[in-house]
Amino acid sequence: MITGGARGLGNEFCRAFVRSGCTQLAILDLKEEEAKDAADELVATACLNSDLAPTDFNIIGLGCDVSSERSVQKAFAETMDAFGRVDSVVASAGIVENYSAFDYPFDRIKRLYDINVHGAFFTAREAARNMIPQGGGSIVLVSSMSANIINIPQPQTPYNASKAAVKHMAASLAVEWAKKGVRVNTLCPGYMLTKLTKTILSHDQELKKTWESLTPMGRMGEPEDLAGAIVFLSSDASRFMTGSEIRVDGGYCII
């Protein structure tokens, strides 16, 4: 299961799973129609230039507002009805906004925390509730390099704090559930060239140059650069890892 899977990094995670052999997947996003469209497109892409047929896949799209505990519970119930179990969950749904601290409207701050922090917690908790009876599973909370550093030049204090909360949440839950067979790890991306980021930077090339100059590798990441890390953390390849963080940031956090 992947939340926020209809677009952006969440959708790239879906593609990474399918490319690695996953044939059963639940894609969650705020708008059910977009989640279902993403599921259909993923199956069609997987069948191109291959011997696979659409009937080889069971990929579903579900509407889910991660800021609502009831919505998350409903999505998990539908997933369990469809598959009977859930082995790996990626909490990828999140938002970012840039306001100075003095100008940040409270309703926007609340919305950001409801999605980024509460949404990650609701997702992880429901995942564990379903994983523990089956013997365990893997949960990956998508944080950010912003959990470790302060981004410049854009002001985004609530976002940075929300991602730091997600990182520490994962570590805390990892300890709480370690002996129950549920692993909880964190993936922390750096600056990634998603479609949304490309659109924003097309109007601000100087910001793009600044971000690249601050990254030791001298470039922003491609969404595909996260594929190996997300599959590793979600699979048994990382079976002795819990409470860990993988940063994929081109070296941004080391200077």
Residue bearing tokens 């997300």:
230
pLDDT tens per residue across span 234-252: 999 999 999 999 999 999 9
Residue 49's region, left for phi above 0, alpha for psi from -120 to 50, else beta, is left
Q: Taking all residues of the chain, what is their mean pLDDT, rounded to a whole number?
A: 96
CB 142 within 8 A of CB 92: yes
* CATH number for 141: 3.40.50.720
- The active-site residue, picked from 159, 167, 234, 238, is 159
| Helices 119-131 and 157-177, packing angle to 10 deg | 20
pLDDT of residue 196: 81
Number of domains in the chain: 1
Residue 12 is assigned to a structural domain of this protein: yes
Residue 75: per-residue pLDDT: 98
Closest to 231 measured CA to CA, from 74, 66, 21: 21
Q: Is 144 a catalytic residue?
A: yes
Confidence category of residue 49, pLDDT binned at 50, 70, 90? confident
Name the catalytic one among 67, 138, 143, 144.
144
The answer, yes or no, to whether residue 195 has pLDDT greater than 90, is no
pLDDT tens profile 16-29: 999 999 999 999 99
**22: in domain:** yes
95: in domain:
yes
Q: Which neighbouring-strand residues pair with 187?
A: 142, 246
* pLDDT > 90? residue 50: no
Token output for 244: 């860990």
pLDDT tens for each residue of 74-86: 999 999 999 999 9
Query: Would you tell me the crossing angle of helices 227-234 and 8-19 to the nearest 10 degrees?
Result: 70
Domain hosting 159: range is 2-249
pLDDT at 245: 98
Give the pLDDT score at 232.
98
> Which run of H or E residues covers position 225?
none
Give a yes or no: residue 255 inside a domain: no
Contact 17, 10 (CB under 8 A): no
Summarised one tens digit per residue, pLDDT across range 117-144 is 999 999 999 999 999 999 999 999 999 9
Please spell the DSSP secondary structure of 182-205, one letter per residue: EEEEEEEE-SB--HHHHHHHTT-H
Burial of 86 (0-12, 13-18, 19+ CB in 10 A): buried
pLDDT of residue 104: 97
The reported pLDDT for the residue numbered 108 is: 97
Region 136-163 average pLDDT = 97
* Per-residue pLDDT tens digits for 199-224: 889 889 999 999 999 999 999 999 99
In the set 67, 143, 163, 238, the catalytic residue is: 163
